[in-house]
Structures are given as structure tokens and as C-alpha cells.
Structure 1
Amino acid sequence: MPAEEHRNASPAAPHPPTDTAEEAIWLWTQIKAEARRDAESEPALASYLYSTILSHSSLERSLSFHLGNKLCSSTLLSTLLYDLFLNNFSTDPDLRAAASADLLAARYRDPACVSFSHCLLNYKGFLACQVCKL
């Protein structure tokens, strides 16, 4: 591999535990660590990363907040969407597991995916899949 390609290759992602509950905790810990690292290296993004990821206690809350902001309009407020999405995540453990599985699949199967947090925030296909499941 040429030196230029080697520098731009995404680092190997660590593998999560096999237990579903532990996997969810591990994944959320990874996402928050990546967001902290990105906020430190790019201060202009710090408030965005804090409001979208770092201020939330779980992947479900972060994803509900992010999707609510992406899909809101002047007649459909982001707070209403947040409550709707979070309620769906809270009542259906399969939705939570599917969101985690989708993040893991994108990170491990897409060579362009550099981090879980990058996928969560920027991959339109990932976000579309989450909305379709809700």
C-alpha cells in the first residue's frame, strides 16, 4: 500500500463484547470517547458534539435528539420528535439492538467509516434506516 493510502486508512476498530447488554454499553462508551477526542482536536465542533452526543446518557437519547433535529420543521418541533423517538426506543428493545447492530456493521464493513460517532452523525443511510424502523 502506498504511504499516502496508509496514512488515510481508517484504524482498525476494537471489537465489542458478544453479550448484547455489554455491547450496548461498550458501543456508547466508544462513541463518547470518539466525540471527546474530536471535540479536543477540533474546537469549532465542540458545542455540536457536546449537544448531540456528549450531553446524552445513552445512544437512544443521542440518536433521538439527532434525528429530531434533522427532521424538524416549523410545524413539527424537534422536541416533539425527540419525545416520540425516545418513547419508541424505550418501549422496544429490538430497536435499540438494531441501531447498535447497524452502527457496528457500518464501522466494520465500510472502509470509509472512520468511527462510530462519524457514522452516527454523518451517514445518511444509517440515519434513514433508523427512522424507517421507528
Structure 2
Amino acid sequence: MAEPKSKIARVDPVWDEITRDAHQAVRDEPLMGGLIHACILHHRSLDRALSYRFAAKLSSNEMSMVILREIADQAFEADLSLVESARADLVAIYERDPACHRLLQPVLYFKGFQAVQAYRVAHWLWQQGRHDLAYFVQMRVSELYSIDIHPAATVGKGIMIDHAHSIVIGETASVGDNVSLLHSVTLGGTGKEDGDRHPKIGNGVLIGAGAKVLGNITVGHCSRVAAGSVVLQDVPPCKTVAGVPARIVGEAGCDQPSVKMDQMFHGK
């Protein structure tokens, strides 16, 4: 059956760039041809490629690739925001990570990007009341990528998780748009309390490596959390906090810390 004209006519410059990158990568390294064709060039759109990558990576003896592919396809077809968020994440990584030279790289190699896209499918399942499947996806993402994002958490678009090792985002946490997190960041609780117990991260925030933000607190938009800090209290917008426990040490230094990715404190 032919696809609806609206889908055929849809323009996606991000996907076009990825496919160009893929063709060039095969020319540069023919031994990668099988992987790149399977993950990119055999698909007609970004959502189809993401669905395949999700299923191929998360499948195991416990859950087949066929079943996981059906789940992901259903999610992407039901919620167009999933692929819109993926595009924003790809562009964010390309613009902020100096190790990313092509849009193809996150789709194939960057576990932070792949884990966030798997979380997005799990979150969609959670919203549909399919909690056990959502938990399964969370478990597999944690096993594969060492990233633990509860499917009930809310995560915006334009997210970059650099290096992406040992990331924890709790059940009632929320992360705004255009946020950058480095490795070993925890958005967690402070004990065994129930209910709303995790941090709320505003838009444009930069959280440095190893930082812990704990409790039902707010980190205001366009703020910076220094590497290794332990944040236990609200952070006002556009500030830099550092230390254990963290305190305000200055202004954020720019209007978009998560984009500039400047982790240095330029004190007087």
C-alpha cells in the first residue's frame, strides 16, 4: 500500500543529512556497510531508523527484536513529538559536543542519544498505562547503557547527555528543554519519602560531571551546576552553584549555559 501523500512529501533535512553522512561513511569504510545499511540506509525516515535501532539494541532472549520493533513503531506513529524531540536532540549533540562531527554519529555510536530515545518510548508506554513494558525498557537501557531514567520522569527536547555513564533520573523528576548533562549526574531523592520527591530542572541548564541534585527542588532556567556539586536547595535562574553542599558562587555567565558548555567559573 502506498504511503499517504502527506508522508511522502514531508521534508526532513536532519534525516537527509544523516543519509548523506551514511553514504559517505560506507565509501570511507566499506566494512561498516552492513551496519550502516541495516541501521540507516534501509529505512525511509528517521523514526523508522530509530525504531530499528531501539529494537536491535534492546532485544534479548527475554524480548525479541520483532516485538520491540512493533512497540517502537506504534509509539512513533501515535506520537509525532517523539521524532521531533529526537531531531532536536541530534542537533543539540552536534552543536554542543566537539567530538560529534556528523549527525550520523549519535544514531550509531552515542549511548546518551540512544538511551534518551529509548526512554522516550518507555515514557510513551507509561502514559498509555503499559507500565510493565515501560519498566522492561528502563531495565534494558540501564543494563546496556548504564543510564537509569524512570519512565514516569518527564524529559524535554534538545537534550545532550555527554559521555552518558552512570546517569540517574528519578520517577518524579522533570528536565526542561535544551538541557546538557555530563556523566555521573544524579537527579534523585533524599531518602525513602514517597510522592513528588525529585528535582525539577529548568530550560537551558548545564549540569556538570558527577553533580547530584537531590530532593523536590527547582534548578532555575539557564543556570549552571558545577561538576561534583551536591545541590539540596532551590537554585535561582541564571546562577552558578558549586560545592558540597552547593551554594551560589556567581552568575551563569551567559544566556544559554547548556549551549555554550562553559564549565569554568570566571570569578572577579
TM-score by length of 1: 0.80
Say yes or no: does 1:51 pair with 2:8. Answer: no
Unpaired runs of at least 5, structure 1: 1-20
Partner of 2:14: 27
Q: From the two aligned structures, give the one with the greater helix fraction.
A: 1
What's 1:76 paired with?
Answer: 63
C-alpha deviation, 1:75, in angstroms: 2.4
Kindly provide the amino acid, as one letter, of the partner of residue 16 in structure 2: T
Q: What does residue range 79-118 of structure 1 map to in structure 2 within 5 Å?
A: 79-118=66-105
Return the letter of the residue paired with 2:62: T
Deviation sequence 1:115-134 (CA, Å, 0-9, x none): 11111111101111111111
Q: Which runs of 5+ in 2 are unaligned?
A: 1-9, 122-268
Q: Deviations 1:36-69 (Å, cap 9, x if unpaired)? A: 0000110100111001100000111101101101
Q: State the distance in 2 between where 1:54 and 1:35 align.
A: 7
**CA separation in 1, counterparts of 2:70 and 2:87?**
20
Between the aligned partners of 2:88 and 2:113, the Cα distance in structure 1 is 11
AA aligned to 1:115 is R
Quote the residue 1:8 is aligned against: none
Residue 83 (structure 1) shift: 1.1
One-letter code aligned to 2:58? L
Cα distance in structure 1, aligned partners of 2:91 and 2:52: 20
Matched AA of 1:82: R
Of 34, 39, 51 in structure 2, the residue corresponding to residue 64 of structure 1 is: 51
Taking the aligned partners of 1:31 and 1:123, their CA distance within structure 2 comes to 14
CA–CA distance in structure 1, aligned partners of residues 104 and 52 of structure 2 = 14
Q: Which residue of 2 aligns with 1:40?
A: 27
Residue of structure 2 in register with 1:122 after alignment: 109
Q: How far apart, in 1, do the equivalents of 2:36 and 2:79 lie?
A: 26
Q: Which amino acid aligns with 2:64?
A: L
Choose from 119, 129, 139 the match for 1:132: 119
The one-letter code of the counterpart of 2:40 is: I
- Percent identity, please: 32
Residue number in structure 2 paired with 1:13: none
Partners of 1:41 and 1:133 lie apart in 2 by: 32
Matched residues, number: 112
Letter in 1 for 2:82: L
Output the aligned Cα RMSD. 1.0
Divergent runs of 4+, >6 A: none
Q: Deviations over 1:1-20 (max 9, x none)?
A: xxxxxxxxxxxxxxxxxxxx
Corresponding residue number in structure 2 for 1:18: none
Report the structure, 1 or 2, having the larger strand content.
2
